[in-house]
Amino acid sequence: HPCTSHCGWGDTILILVHPSPNPRGGPCMAARVCPHRDSCQRGWRLLYVVAAYHSCSEVLQPHLVRFLQDVSRTPGLPFQGIAKACEQNLRKTLRFGGRLELPSSMELRAMLAGRSSKRQLFLLPGGLERHLKIKTCTVALDVVEEICAEMALTRPEAFHEYVIFVVTHRGECPEEEARCAHTRHPDWKAHVGCHFA
Protein backbone atom coordinates (compact mmCIF):
# COMPACT_ATOMS: atom_id res chain seq x y z
CA HIS A 1 0.00 0.00 0.00
CA PRO A 2 1.44 3.46 -0.88
CA CYS A 3 0.72 4.82 2.59
CA THR A 4 2.52 2.18 4.64
CA SER A 5 5.59 4.23 5.57
CA HIS A 6 3.79 7.60 5.93
CA CYS A 7 0.70 6.61 7.92
CA GLY A 8 -0.55 8.36 10.98
CA TRP A 9 -3.23 6.74 13.12
CA GLY A 10 -5.94 8.63 11.20
CA ASP A 11 -4.76 7.08 7.93
CA THR A 12 -4.65 3.67 9.56
CA ILE A 13 -8.31 3.95 10.54
CA LEU A 14 -9.25 5.20 7.08
CA ILE A 15 -7.37 2.30 5.46
CA LEU A 16 -9.51 -0.16 7.43
CA VAL A 17 -12.45 0.80 5.22
CA HIS A 18 -10.36 1.21 2.08
CA PRO A 19 -7.75 -1.57 2.20
CA SER A 20 -6.33 -1.22 -1.31
CA PRO A 21 -5.75 1.78 -3.60
CA ASN A 22 -6.75 -0.26 -6.64
CA PRO A 23 -9.42 -2.74 -5.57
CA ARG A 24 -10.04 -5.56 -8.02
CA GLY A 25 -13.51 -6.48 -9.18
CA GLY A 26 -15.26 -3.24 -8.25
CA PRO A 27 -15.02 -0.19 -6.06
CA CYS A 28 -14.59 -2.18 -2.88
CA MET A 29 -14.92 -5.92 -2.61
CA ALA A 30 -15.19 -5.72 1.17
CA ALA A 31 -18.23 -3.46 0.93
CA ARG A 32 -19.92 -5.90 -1.45
CA VAL A 33 -19.06 -9.28 0.00
CA CYS A 34 -19.01 -8.70 3.76
CA PRO A 35 -21.56 -11.16 5.19
CA HIS A 36 -22.02 -9.07 8.33
CA ARG A 37 -23.98 -6.05 7.17
CA ASP A 38 -24.19 -4.68 10.71
CA SER A 39 -20.38 -4.72 11.01
CA CYS A 40 -20.05 -2.89 7.70
CA GLN A 41 -22.60 -0.33 8.80
CA ARG A 42 -20.69 0.32 12.04
CA GLY A 43 -17.47 0.64 10.03
CA TRP A 44 -19.05 3.24 7.75
CA ARG A 45 -20.36 5.15 10.76
CA LEU A 46 -16.87 5.11 12.28
CA LEU A 47 -15.44 6.48 9.04
CA TYR A 48 -18.17 9.16 9.06
CA VAL A 49 -17.06 10.33 12.51
CA VAL A 50 -13.30 10.04 11.84
CA ALA A 51 -13.61 12.01 8.58
CA ALA A 52 -15.24 14.87 10.52
CA TYR A 53 -12.22 15.18 12.82
CA HIS A 54 -9.15 14.10 10.88
CA SER A 55 -7.90 14.58 7.37
CA CYS A 56 -5.81 11.93 5.71
CA SER A 57 -2.35 12.13 4.21
CA GLU A 58 -1.81 13.49 0.73
CA VAL A 59 -0.84 9.96 -0.32
CA LEU A 60 -4.13 8.40 0.80
CA GLN A 61 -6.41 11.31 -0.11
CA PRO A 62 -6.91 10.70 -3.87
CA HIS A 63 -7.49 6.98 -3.33
CA LEU A 64 -9.94 7.50 -0.48
CA VAL A 65 -11.87 10.24 -2.28
CA ARG A 66 -12.09 8.12 -5.44
CA PHE A 67 -13.26 5.12 -3.41
CA LEU A 68 -15.97 7.13 -1.65
CA GLN A 69 -17.12 8.60 -4.98
CA ASP A 70 -17.22 5.15 -6.59
CA VAL A 71 -19.30 3.67 -3.78
CA SER A 72 -21.69 6.62 -3.65
CA ARG A 73 -22.21 6.72 -7.44
CA THR A 74 -22.34 3.02 -8.33
CA PRO A 75 -25.96 1.87 -8.63
CA GLY A 76 -26.85 -1.12 -6.50
CA LEU A 77 -23.96 -0.90 -4.04
CA PRO A 78 -24.91 -0.83 -0.37
CA PHE A 79 -24.05 2.17 1.80
CA GLN A 80 -24.23 4.73 -1.02
CA GLY A 81 -25.74 7.41 1.24
CA ILE A 82 -23.21 7.14 4.02
CA ALA A 83 -20.34 6.96 1.51
CA LYS A 84 -21.50 10.32 0.11
CA ALA A 85 -21.74 11.73 3.66
CA CYS A 86 -18.21 10.45 4.43
CA GLU A 87 -16.91 12.14 1.29
CA GLN A 88 -18.60 15.42 2.28
CA ASN A 89 -17.13 15.22 5.79
CA LEU A 90 -13.66 14.50 4.42
CA ARG A 91 -13.86 17.40 1.94
CA LYS A 92 -14.99 19.78 4.72
CA THR A 93 -12.17 18.57 6.95
CA LEU A 94 -9.62 19.06 4.16
CA ARG A 95 -10.97 22.56 3.44
CA PHE A 96 -11.64 23.91 6.95
CA GLY A 97 -9.84 21.52 9.28
CA GLY A 98 -11.50 18.94 11.47
CA ARG A 99 -13.96 19.54 14.25
CA LEU A 100 -12.33 20.57 17.50
CA GLU A 101 -15.00 19.62 20.02
CA LEU A 102 -15.60 15.95 20.65
CA PRO A 103 -19.15 14.78 20.06
CA SER A 104 -21.33 14.61 23.14
CA SER A 105 -22.60 11.25 24.31
CA MET A 106 -26.04 12.18 22.93
CA GLU A 107 -24.54 12.97 19.52
CA LEU A 108 -22.57 9.71 19.48
CA ARG A 109 -25.69 7.71 20.36
CA ALA A 110 -27.60 9.48 17.60
CA MET A 111 -24.83 8.77 15.06
CA LEU A 112 -24.67 5.12 16.07
CA ALA A 113 -28.43 4.95 15.55
CA GLY A 114 -27.97 6.36 12.03
CA ARG A 115 -29.06 9.96 12.71
CA SER A 116 -26.41 12.39 11.53
CA SER A 117 -28.29 15.67 11.49
CA LYS A 118 -30.43 17.89 13.65
CA ARG A 119 -32.81 20.72 12.86
CA GLN A 120 -31.41 23.84 14.52
CA LEU A 121 -33.38 27.03 15.13
CA PHE A 122 -31.87 30.26 13.78
CA LEU A 123 -33.40 33.61 14.72
CA LEU A 124 -33.38 36.19 11.94
CA PRO A 125 -33.91 39.97 12.16
CA GLY A 126 -37.55 40.95 12.49
CA GLY A 127 -38.32 38.02 14.76
CA LEU A 128 -38.28 35.49 11.93
CA GLU A 129 -37.40 31.92 12.81
CA ARG A 130 -35.73 29.50 10.44
CA HIS A 131 -34.89 25.85 11.09
CA LEU A 132 -31.90 24.51 9.18
CA LYS A 133 -30.48 21.01 9.07
CA ILE A 134 -27.14 20.92 10.89
CA LYS A 135 -24.79 18.00 10.31
CA THR A 136 -21.57 16.86 11.92
CA CYS A 137 -19.40 19.00 9.61
CA THR A 138 -21.67 22.01 9.15
CA VAL A 139 -19.66 25.23 9.42
CA ALA A 140 -20.87 28.82 9.89
CA LEU A 141 -20.33 29.58 6.19
CA ASP A 142 -22.78 26.79 5.23
CA VAL A 143 -25.51 28.39 7.34
CA VAL A 144 -24.87 31.89 5.99
CA GLU A 145 -24.81 30.60 2.38
CA GLU A 146 -28.11 28.75 2.85
CA ILE A 147 -29.86 31.76 4.37
CA CYS A 148 -28.41 34.07 1.69
CA ALA A 149 -29.57 31.70 -1.07
CA GLU A 150 -33.12 31.95 0.28
CA MET A 151 -32.82 35.75 -0.05
CA ALA A 152 -31.49 35.33 -3.63
CA LEU A 153 -28.02 36.55 -2.59
CA THR A 154 -25.54 34.33 -4.39
CA ARG A 155 -22.40 36.49 -4.68
CA PRO A 156 -19.65 35.44 -2.22
CA GLU A 157 -19.17 39.11 -1.27
CA ALA A 158 -22.72 39.13 0.13
CA PHE A 159 -21.87 36.33 2.57
CA HIS A 160 -19.43 38.61 4.40
CA GLU A 161 -22.22 41.04 5.25
CA TYR A 162 -23.77 38.58 7.69
CA VAL A 163 -22.72 37.16 11.02
CA ILE A 164 -23.98 34.41 13.31
CA PHE A 165 -24.52 35.19 16.99
CA VAL A 166 -24.71 32.44 19.57
CA VAL A 167 -27.57 32.49 22.06
CA THR A 168 -27.66 29.97 24.87
CA HIS A 169 -30.57 29.00 27.07
CA ARG A 170 -29.29 31.28 29.87
CA GLY A 171 -28.30 34.13 27.60
CA GLU A 172 -24.63 33.39 28.25
CA CYS A 173 -22.27 33.26 25.32
CA PRO A 174 -19.30 30.88 25.67
CA GLU A 175 -15.96 32.70 25.35
CA GLU A 176 -14.85 31.05 22.09
CA GLU A 177 -18.24 31.57 20.45
CA ALA A 178 -18.40 35.16 21.72
CA ARG A 179 -15.13 35.92 19.93
CA CYS A 180 -16.65 34.69 16.68
CA ALA A 181 -19.97 36.44 17.22
CA HIS A 182 -18.47 39.88 17.88
CA THR A 183 -16.27 40.06 14.78
CA ARG A 184 -17.58 41.60 11.59
CA HIS A 185 -16.37 38.61 9.60
CA PRO A 186 -16.83 35.48 11.68
CA ASP A 187 -14.52 32.52 11.49
CA TRP A 188 -16.13 30.68 8.57
CA LYS A 189 -14.30 27.55 9.68
CA ALA A 190 -16.12 27.51 13.02
CA HIS A 191 -18.11 24.30 13.19
CA VAL A 192 -21.73 24.84 14.08
CA GLY A 193 -21.74 21.30 15.43
CA CYS A 194 -24.53 18.86 15.80
CA HIS A 195 -25.69 18.91 19.40
CA PHE A 196 -28.57 16.59 20.12
CA ALA A 197 -30.89 17.39 22.98
pLDDT digits (tens, 9 = 90+) for 56-72: 889 999 999 999 999 99
Q: For residue 195, what pLDDT is reported?
A: 39
**Most confidently modeled of 2-16, 52-66, 158-172?**
52-66
User: pLDDT above 90 covers what percent of the chain?
Assistant: 20
Q: For residue 25, what pLDDT is reported?
A: 41
Tell me if 133 sits within 8 A of 117, measured CB to CB.
yes
pLDDT of residue 22 exceeding 50: no
Tell me if 111 sits within 8 A of 136, measured CB to CB.
yes
Instruction: Give the least confident one: 41-50, 78-87, 159-168, 173-182.
Output: 173-182
Would you put residue 123 in left (φ > 0), alpha (ψ -120 to 50) or beta?
beta
pLDDT of residue 84 exceeding 50: yes
Give the mean model confidence (pLDDT) for residues 173-188.
42
CA dihedral 17, 18, 24, 25 (to 10 degrees): 40
User: Could you tell me which residue, 41 or 88, shows the higher pLDDT?
Assistant: 88
Helix (H, G, I), strand (E, B) or coil at 131: strand
DSSP secondary structure letter of residue 138: -
pLDDT of residue 196 exceeding 50: no
Q: For residue 89, what pLDDT is reported?
A: 92
DSSP secondary structure letter of residue 27: S
- How confident is residue 137, by pLDDT bands cut at 50, 70 and 90? confident
**Most confidently modeled of 121-125, 143-147, 160-164?**
143-147
pLDDT of residue 51 exceeding 70: yes
pLDDT of residue 19 exceeding 70: no
User: Could you tell me which residue, 43 or 176, shows the higher pLDDT?
Assistant: 43
> Distance between CA 113 and CA 107 in Å, rounded?
10
pLDDT of residue 87 exceeding 80: yes
